[in-house]
Structure 1
Amino acid sequence: MRQTTNTILMIRPVAFRMNEQTAVNNYFQEDIQLKNAEINAKAQEEFDAFVEKLRAVGVNVIVEDDDILMDTPDSIFPNNWVSFHENGNVGLYPMFAENRRRERREEVFARLEKEGFKINDIIDYTTAENENVFLEGTGSLLLDRVNDKAYCALSPRADEGLFIEFCEDFEYTPVVFTANQTVDGKRLPIYHTNVMMCLAETFSVICLDSIDDKKERKNVIKNLKADGKEIINITEEQMANFAGNMLQVRGKDNKLYLVMSQAAHNSLSQAQINIIERHCEILSSSLETIETCGGGSARCMMAEVFLPKM
């Protein structure tokens, strides 16, 4: 099994804006006083520059355009509705916001098959939406594909029962905990695991302070250390700058890169940067509009493709 891939699926936005349906429990979103058309134009600029940077180092980026008729403001974050696995299986996930459910499109699978990838089976969890039960893909699930472990911070968008079901279906050992952030003086669950934690081949970037329960925190540390991961701890302030929302990918000649936004990069201390650079190179791009309105960053924009070739 591989932990990192050279192929990334990304969805170019056509109607990006602040999604009012996700803002209820995504405390990273902020309203900016711009017309939606302006917001979308800025998001497209950031998206295109980001794709260009990834391709420049040899990452195979498959870009699919969003469909304007769908009115899907968050389609730029495809990792929440789908995951692609080495055995040719695809996971399809139940989404909290109703307008995000329209992001699940058959065309995306057709495109991957056209690119020469093989899809064997689709494991579909979306009927859980009828029970108001959610598990938002690799936003909720952090997969250690080599060590067969899945990390999940429980939240209104990550149901424990469904997470355990996923682990049984895909043969992962579950590591469950709750991660919180301070909102108006209260500790509230962080909406996605991949905002507070990133899992790379030989290290993990994680906001340990967000795991309030000491026993849960110890358990996460124990699992990471048992698998030989160096732990790079970030502060809650760095997490608010999306320093947890990173993804390790492979470029030309199998070279490893840790991909993040400019804001995340800027928030890191020199000591943290030095540790990361011992493991791999950093690649960052400005995603200011996408982060502010969408409440998601670099990691959320990239759906990793591990499917076998035909």
Structure 2
Amino acid sequence: MQIPAAVAMVRPASFGFNPDTAPSFLFQREITDANRREIERRARIEFDLLAGRLRDAGVEVIIFEDKEELHTPDAVFPNNWVSFHHDGTVVLYPMFAPSRRPERRRDIIEKLQNGGFRVSRVIDLTHHENEGRFLEGTGSVVFDHADHLAYANLSPRTNSDVLNELCGILGYKPVTFQSTYEGGDPIFHTDMMLSIGDRFAIFCGESIGDASQRRRVLDSLKGTGREIISIDRKQIEQFTGNVLQLQTKNGGSVLAISTAACLSLRPEQRDAIQKFAQLVESPLPVFEGIGRGSARCMMADVHLPRVTLMRE
């Protein structure tokens, strides 16, 4: 139940520096001398390599093409605007940057339906943008689907009121906290420092400065019976928390991870992960260096039920 059997990915058409999100994101770097078209070309190469390696590992990867006319430089990160749930619920999320809002495409939902997935309802939370309240998908909320928990690092991108509304709709319990990078800058997206698999969780406890909050989150994670694989703040900067466990078509398990994140793993961390999942790593320096996202950000996990065909 925790790990998806399919992921939706958006192949970038115009990936690049986004001035709307740059001021509040530590890792985003402005393109000055670099040729924009060359960046776009390299981004597509990185995307195709990751998608190809996941498919080779047996993961169902559903690819949608970005629409160049929308001018959405961050479209490759669909997990910020949508989530797909086991009961057929689709949630549309309010996003901080106005330039990112055109990424929300109903045609992607319709194509998933046409491809055999059942959508029973669409929960639209985007009206919160009018009041300056944001919740950026599974970047803001790391779901424990098996135990109906929703972990969220509160920040300008992750509003507690919207989170509570979402949890009320889905029947999940929120677990909130605040975390920072090594230099003290706030972490805006929870999926930078926490990833929850079926039997393990990758977690940066030291990023939560408040001891009582840290203990509460750790107790919640341990209470589900998962093995906790601790990472440090330096590893966060290598996107070691921005990973996602996926199910393969033969019932196996893999962890999608960037090359930089994989190289940052200590031997004991790698061994702990490989008890539960095979590592599928792919180089993502363009997305990590120019953008602000890594492997997990590039995938919207699809938990929707399949349509059952009736036999005559």
Secondary structure, counterpart of 1:51 in structure 2:
helix
Q: Report the counterpart of residue 265 of structure 2 in structure 1.
A: 268
> Match for residue 220 of structure 2?
223
Superposition deviation, residue 252 in structure 1: 2.9
Give the secondary-structure state (helix, strand or coil) at the position aligned to 1:215.
helix
Distance 1:150 1:250 in 2: 21
Which 5+ residue runs of structure 1 have no aligned equivalent?
none
Cross-structure match for 2:96: 96
Cα offset for 1:30? 2.1
Correspondence list, 1:1-310, <5 A: 2-32=1-31, 33-183=33-183, 187-310=184-307
Partners of 1:230 and 1:309 lie apart in 2 by 30
Q: How many residue pairs get matched?
A: 306
- Percentage of identical aligned residues: 42
Contact 2:154 2:178 in 1 (8 A): yes
Distance 2:47 2:281 in 1: 12
Q: TM-score, normalised by structure 1?
A: 0.97
Equivalent position SS for 2:7: strand
Partners of 2:76 and 2:13 lie apart in 1 by 9
The Cα of 1:39 is off from its aligned counterpart by: 0.8
Structure 2 distance, partners of 1:78, 1:265, is 22
Does the 8 Å CA contact 1:195/1:245 hold for their aligned counterparts? yes
1:90: how far off?
A: 0.3
Shift of residue 189 of structure 1? 1.6
Partners of 2:30 and 2:268 lie apart in 1 by 33
1:18 Cα deviation from its structure 2 partner: 1.5
Q: What letter corresponds to residue 144 of structure 2 in structure 1? A: D
What displacement does 1:305 show?
A: 0.7
Match for 1:99: what amino acid? S
State the 4+ residue runs in structure 1 displaced beyond 4 angstroms. none
Alignment deviations for residues 156-210 of structure 1 (CA, whole Å, 9 cap, x no partner):
1000111111111101011000011144xxx222010001111111111111111
- Contact 1:167-1:173 within 8 A present in 2 as well: yes
Give the partner amino acid of 2:8: L
Check the 8 A contact 2:141/2:152 in 1, yes or no. Answer: yes
**Equivalent pair of 1:6/1:60 in contact (CA under 8 Å):** yes
Instruction: Tell me the distance in 2 between the aligned counterparts of 1:212 and 1:200.
Output: 24
| Aligned mates of 2:106, 2:142 — CA distance in 1 | 24
Q: Is the 8 A contact 2:60 2:249 kept in 1?
A: no
User: Aligned-pair distance for 1:34?
Assistant: 1.1
The 1-side partners of 2:53 and 2:220 are apart by 33
Q: Give the TM-score, by structure 2 length.
A: 0.96
